[in-house]
């Protein structure tokens, strides 16, 4: 069974970009950030959904 990584926000969030990147799952990262609507306040990662970052902040249009 794969080890569950701890997210940068201190929780175990399998779907967060920071965890996916640390696991080398870049194809999933590309899929989840193809049309970003939010960025992470903590690391600046941009994602399509607020569910995929630790501290979502809406992107300005």
Give the tens place of pLDDT for each residue, 15-42: 899 889 988 999 999 999 999 999 999 8
pLDDT computed for residue 53 by the predictor? 93
Residue ranges making up the domain that contains 40: 17-58
Residue 59 has pLDDT above 50, yes or no: yes
Q: Does some domain include residue 11?
A: no
Q: How confident is the model at residue 9 (pLDDT cuts 50, 70, 90)?
A: confident
Q: Does some domain include residue 28?
A: yes
Q: What is the DSSP code (8-state) at residue 6?
A: P
58: Cβ contacts below 8 Å, ≥ 6 apart: 37, 38
Q: How confident is the model at residue 2 (pLDDT cuts 50, 70, 90)?
A: low
Q: Does some domain include residue 3?
A: no
* Measured distance CA(37)–CA(7) in Å, rounded: 20
pLDDT computed for residue 1 by the predictor? 45
Q: Does some domain include residue 5?
A: no
Q: Does some domain include residue 7?
A: no
Q: How many CA atoms lie within 13 Å of 56's alpha carbon, on the beta-carbon side?
A: 13
Q: Does some domain include residue 8?
A: no
Q: Does some domain include residue 29?
A: yes
**pTM of the full structure:** 0.79
User: Domains in the chain: how many in total?
Assistant: 1
């Amino acid at each position: 069974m794969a080890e569950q990584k701890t997210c940068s926000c201190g929780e175990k969030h399998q779907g967060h970009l920071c965890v996916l990147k640390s696991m080398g799952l870049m194809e999933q990262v590309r899929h989840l950030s193809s049309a970003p609507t939010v960025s992470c306040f903590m690391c600046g990662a941009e994602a399509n959904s607020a569910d995929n970052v630790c501290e979502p902040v809406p992107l300005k249009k």
